[in-house]
Amino acid sequence: MPADLANQVTVLGIKNARFWADSEGGALAHEAELALEREKAAAKKTRDGHLPPAHFLAVSGGSDDGSFGAGLICGWFDTGTMPTFKLVTGVSTGAMIAPFAFLGRSYMAGLRAVYTTIGPGNVLKKLGIHNAVFGEALADTSPLFGLIRHYVNEQMLADIASEYDRGRLLLIGTASLDAQRPVIWNIGAIAVSGRPGALELIRRVILASASIPGAFPPVMIDVEAKGHHYQEMNVDGGVVAQTFLYPADLGLSVDFASTELARERHAYIIRNSRLDPEWASVNRRFLTISGRAIATMIHYIGYSDILRIYARQSATVSTTTWRISSPTFRM
């Protein structure tokens, strides 16, 4: 895709299927306003127009540590106190968790199964160092894509669409390597579109969000611009941000204190990794040093994301309460 067409990209002809996280805060704010209108319309049918408190959930990346977030959500659901979330976002392993957390109810059994009944063979096929040098990645993720296909099925698509119609949003983050920019995918809008290929697109978005560059191959997603078709290379959104609630510039586009949007809010952040440094004795070898350096960068990206989200949203939304959870931190 030519660089000058990047801002005109659509997928399956759905204008609100995706947003550039670094420049389309206004467009995403408009999507939030439309969601509010749908929520108000649904509330008139069930609660005389009264809007309940809004609950937001962000689930971070973390690879195998996604079992922490999955366990937390399953346990939370079992207590009977887990709310219905107005917004759920996910990145990397968080993108695998997000649809289950968004739908809740009977989908909790699937979330448990994904994180407790599978092994490495259900996720990847090792290809070896030769493929890393001359190919795309160290592993083939066709087993993981098969797992996604099994759980992200026609019924899940219909249920996500139904919840989107009620004013709820499910967002998943990837990174476009071609454009070197973060992408936010509006999963509910894709689900409700009825377009042929919508289900397959959602599956590929989830796979892309979980595709760690170098370890897993990138996912090529078909896009369109000015009547021409292109392929865009998408990978794990964690290369840009390990977790997000919404883009930073969205706060500049929305007056959260306005009459229309004023309501009680609760934000929950699940960080699927430690927030304190983890000491290790590093061998003086190229691959070990490089791997440790990358892991350190990812660690501090995730740590900074927590601080950024808290500082940004606390500055713009004074009525929000927060719950942040990681294996080593509670707030």
What integer is the mean pLDDT of 204-214? Answer: 90
Instruction: Give 43's pLDDT tier (boundaries 50, 70, 90).
Output: confident
Mean pLDDT of 132-158: 84
Q: How many Cα neighbours within 13 Å face the side chain of 77?
A: 20
Q: Give the CA dihedral 30, 39, 103, 22, nearest 10 degrees.
A: 10
Q: Which of 58-72, 97-111, 280-294, 311-325 has the lowest mean pLDDT?
A: 311-325
User: Which amino acid is present at 230?
Assistant: Y
pLDDT band at 147 (very low <50, low <70, confident <90, very high): very high
| CB proximity list for 100: less than 8 A, separation 6 or greater | 70, 73, 107, 108, 110, 111, 114, 151
Q: How confident is the model at residue 35 (pLDDT cuts 50, 70, 90)?
A: very high
- For the segment 129-133, the average pLDDT, to the nearest whole number, is 60
Res 252 pLDDT > 50: no
- Mean pLDDT along residues 247-269: 64
- Tell me what pLDDT residue 136 has: 65
Check whether 255 has a pLDDT greater than 90: no
> What pLDDT is stored for residue 247 in this prediction?
66
Res 283: pLDDT: 92
Average pLDDT, the chain: 86
Residue-wise pLDDT tens digits, 72-114 = 999 999 999 999 999 999 999 999 999 999 999 999 999 999 9
Tens digit of pLDDT for each residue in 180-202? 999 999 999 999 999 999 999 99
